[in-house]
A and B are shown apart, each in its own frame.
Chain A
Amino acid sequence: SQTIHQWPATLVQPVGSPLSLECTVEGTSNPNLYWYRQAAGRGLQLLFYSVGIGQISSEVPQNLSASRPQDRQFILSSKKLLLSDSGFYLCASRDRDDTQYFGPGTRLTVL
């Protein structure tokens, strides 16, 4: 099965600062990759998904962006963070069997 790595595990950033969250995948090739945000420990909001290198689809217009520079690397970025960007960010990989494998998550607090 796949292993999803995310870092950092926790992050506290001031409003207006930039953001870079990284996700890497082991144990598969050419996966579909996803960024989700989970607010208040409940529902998942799909932010971006990627079906291949350089191919990004945005689900929610906002001040976040995503990039996929390598097959198993997915990056979530922002130029200027907002208070509303606080949350638990999860990276996931979908394999050919349609199961999604999730990383451990990054807890982002914007102050």
Chain B
Amino acid sequence: AQSVAQPEDQVNVAEGNPLTVKCTYSVSGNPYLFWYVQYPNRGLQFLLKYITGDNLVKGSYGFEAEFNKSQTSFHLKKPSALVSDSALYFCAVRDRPGGYQKVTFGTGTKLQVIP
């Protein structure tokens, strides 16, 4: 079975400081990993994904994530946080082809960027 954990319910960071939102996963094979962002009363928006290749993945709005197979982690990062980055962030995982047709989402981490 596949699972994903976001250990922090909320992350607070000052504007201009670097941010990290943590995610760890568990799959039986090799993972597809995703980050999504949700603004209040809106649907989720895709930020970035890791399928294969370079462990550092760059995505929308200046976000990036690093795939670490030994630590089974896929942390989301940004060098300099903006107040507009304040939102709910979801990590998601899907086992490689042959696995489920569904993606498993984490419980979400609320990011608060303080001016």
Contacts and interface: CB of A to CB of B under 8 A. Distances in A.
Interface of A: 4, 6, 32, 34, 41-44, 46, 49, 51, 57, 59, 88, 90, 92, 94, 98-105, 107
Interface string B72-115: 00000000000000001010101000000111011110000000
Contacts of A103: 43
A98 B102 contact: no
B56 interface: no
Nearest to A38: B38
A100 B42 contact: no
A49 B102 CA distance: 8
Contact of A99 (B41, B46, B88): B46
Contacts of A59: 102
B43 A94 contact: no
A contacts with B: majority SS = strand
Nearest to A101: B46
Q: In the complex, which of the residues B40, B44, B49, B94 has the most CB atoms of chain A within 10 Å of its own CB atom?
A: B44
A98 B51 contact: yes
25 contacts: A4-B43, A6-B43, A32-B101, A41-B40, A42-B107, A42-B108, A43-B106, A43-B107, A43-B108, A44-B44, A44-B90, A46-B102, A49-B101, A51-B101, A57-B101, A94-B103, A98-B32, A98-B51, A98-B103, A99-B34, A100-B44, A101-B46, A102-B43, A103-B43, A107-B41
A44 B42 contact: no
Given A41-B88, A42-B108, A46-B102, A102 B32 contact: no
A104 B105 contact: no
A103 B38 CA distance: 11
Given A41-B88, A42-B107, A44-B90, A104 B42 contact: yes
B34 A100 contact: yes
A50 to B, nearest CB: 9
Contacts of A107: 41
B103 A100 contact: yes
